[in-house]
Structure 1
Amino acid sequence: MTEVTRVEITRHVLSYCSPIVTAHGQLLQRPVVVVALSDDQGNTGFGEAAPLNGFTTENIDQSEAAIRQWFSADQPEGPPDLPTARAAIDGAFFDLHAQQRGLSLHQHLNSESPSRLPVAALITGSSTDALVEQALQRQAEGFATLKIKVGAGSFAVDLERVAAVRSAVGGRMALRLDANGAWCPDEALRNIEKLFPFSLEFIEEPTAGLAGLAKVRKGAVFPIAVDESAGDLAGLRRAIDLGSGDFFILKPSAIGGLVVAEQAATMAAQAGLGVVVTSLLESSHGIKLAAHFASARGLSDPAPGLATAELLTQDLGCPSPISNGHLSLT
């Protein structure tokens, strides 16, 4: 491999077209750090550090400092400890090495991997009517899976919104919910029972904490997905031991990059959990890395949650095209 001749570390602010409201709060802007590694052949690999409250323990200042310290060391001893810093460095090197081989990243990782994969769309309308309008638009665009955030307000409103979307799109479209740990276990079980008529694919984080998720899973009428309650490999192992979920939501940008994501995917699969690759609502630099990983690892069912670049007012990278609900990899 050609040596890296230039390292650029830059901070940016991502802005979203409309507020993304979750049980963790409202997201309208957030800082990220982009790592760009170039060689003398004109190749540049990109990685992104995108700490996010509720999903990562480090903040942007800590992540950027860890990245700069790693590159300033004469001989770094292993990757940074902070997952988002590691993800940015890891991603930039993988991207650069794939370009140096003249391959797409997914082919660099797995020569037999597909160049297209189905993706789920996150719908975020501020009212029930707006949510239904967006759901119908995504259905017309060919998406087969929708995701709705719940838990930020009253459950009565959540129930109304979910019912309206299911009625509008019909029964063939997959519908998943994400409560981001908003409900206590008993409340989660009551709410999930009321959601029974709407044929959910699964519900993410109906309560916070792995013990609570295990309790909910035992009585739930839908599959349960573990996300931010298992933010690292140790957390995933505990989730498996406790029986906290049927699915594991894998965010490469949050867990430490592609190497750690591969370890997590293997651990989850060996334990019988389904693996759903999703973005961290970062720019296309991070989304692309997650998409190429999902393709290389064969993680396309359930559909990865990677149709999120369009939520940004301005992207930092070139977004992968999406047609008929499928994302194309280059």
Structure 2
Amino acid sequence: MTLRLQRRRFRFALLQPLRTAAGELRERCGWLLRLDDDQGGVGWGEVAPLQPQQFMACEQALAALPDELPEAQLEAVLREAPGPVGFGLGAALAELQGVVGAAAPQGWLKAPAPALLLPAGEAMLSALEVAAASMGGLERCTFKWKVATLPDGLERQLLEQLLQRLPPTARLRLDANGGWDRSTAEAWMQRLSDDPRLDWLEQPLAVQDQVGLNQLAALGPVALDESLDQHPELRLSWSGWQVRRPALEGDPRLLLRELQAGMPQRMLSTAFETGVGRRWLEHLAGLQAQGPTPAAPGLAPGWTPAGSIFSNDPEQVWAAAV
């Protein structure tokens, strides 16, 4: 079957910069993909690398694709393409094939209530107050706080204030984005490992320190994120929690099959997608919630602006990207 591929650039700014140990994220940009077959079917995809060094590789991979190509050729290309390109092409093919979407038995699933993303530093405390006021309390909420962005002593003081404010039924995830050394990570784990509110420490050490990550996981719950992107083989071997960002990791049909098979300890997380990628994120999070270890997905509500580019209707997203 011959397929017709169209690409369209998009760009949007976050409502506030996301500060992490790796730097600041202020905007998202990339390409929307539209894939048409010769029977009137349409599939949609999105390509949006997070790392600046990946952007050129994705741009070159998309530019190398002809506007018309056989389905088998596209399947071969996406297996070798950079992760974000593999996601975009795989997502569009899956929709054309009826694996997901209107033609699939489940349609598009909705995600469960998400974790709330707290900003780094002292801004965390005011964001927590806003959340408590808007929701009438913090009971049964899950929070993710970005750490390793300030001197450790100051962040430890902020942690104590955060713990004082969280009710017993709340859950907490701390994301260091690989910014701690072993002694710092161990100190945080020792402080929190006995606290029933702790979900995990997320990527506490650098990707290169897998030995240290293994040792830390023996002391308490550790979730891998960036390690999974740079070393995909860990998705098969890491027995702890995995933070999975489908928009970055390649053909989403692979993760879809994992979740359909009931693989435990996968948590779905956003890379700040348009409405096209968001449909996939929510669908996979909905599947995860039906599995053996349901966990609040990381959808980062309140961090992206309103607008048609975030619509559930891909035609509206496509039009908004002009």
Is TM (by shorter chain) over 0.5?
A: yes
Deviates more, 1:42-51 or 1:150-159: 42-51
Contact 1:284 1:319 survives alignment (8 Å): yes
Contact 1:278 1:306 survives alignment (8 Å): yes
CA distance in 2, matches of 1:295, 1:214: 29
The aligned residue for residue 316 of structure 2 is: none
- 1:140 paired with 2:136, answer yes
1:128-277 alignment, distance < 5 Å: 128-137=124-133, 139-140=135-136, 144-196=141-193, 199-209=197-207, 210-220=210-220, 223-231=221-229, 232-237=231-236, 239-240=237-238, 246-262=240-256, 269=263, 274-277=265-268
1:63-82 alignment, distance < 5 Å: 63-72=58-67, 74-75=69-70, 76=73, 78-80=76-78, 81=80, 82=82
For structure 1, the residue ranges without an aligned partner over 5 or more in a row are 321-330
CA distance in 1, matches of 2:225, 2:155: 20
The aligned residue for residue 303 of structure 2 is: 311
1:15-34 alignment, distance < 5 Å: 15-34=13-32
The aligned residue for residue 327 of structure 1 is: none
The aligned residue for residue 84 of structure 1 is: 84
Contact 1:128 1:160 survives alignment (8 Å): no
Contact 1:119 1:305 survives alignment (8 Å): yes
**CA 1:234–1:64 in 2, change beyond 3 Å: closer, same or farther?**
same
CA distance in 2, matches of 1:295, 1:278: 12
**CA 1:307–1:32 in 2, change beyond 3 Å: closer, same or farther?**
same
**CA 1:43–1:148 in 2, change beyond 3 Å: closer, same or farther?**
farther
Please give the root-mean-square deviation of Cα atoms over the aligned residues, in Å.
3.4
Contact 2:44 2:95 survives alignment (8 Å): yes
Output one character per residue of 1:163-193: Cα deviation in whole Å (capped at 9) or x when no partner. Answer: 3333323111111111111111222101222
Contact 1:23 1:152 survives alignment (8 Å): yes
CA distance in 2, matches of 1:166, 1:100: 41
Contact 2:204 2:213 survives alignment (8 Å): yes
CA distance in 1, matches of 2:132, 2:111: 23
CA distance in 2, matches of 1:247, 1:279: 16
Aligned-pair CA distance for 1:98: 4.5
The aligned residue for residue 324 of structure 1 is: none
Aligned-pair CA distance for 1:211: 1.9
Three-state SS of the structure 1 residue aligned to 2:218 is helix
Contact 1:43 1:99 survives alignment (8 Å): no
For structure 2, the residue ranges without an aligned partner over 5 or more in a row are 314-322
The aligned residue for residue 61 of structure 1 is: 56
With normalisation by structure 2, the TM-score equals: 0.79
Counterpart amino acid of residue 250 in structure 2 = G
CA distance in 2, matches of 1:183, 1:122: 20
CA distance in 1, matches of 2:137, 2:31: 32
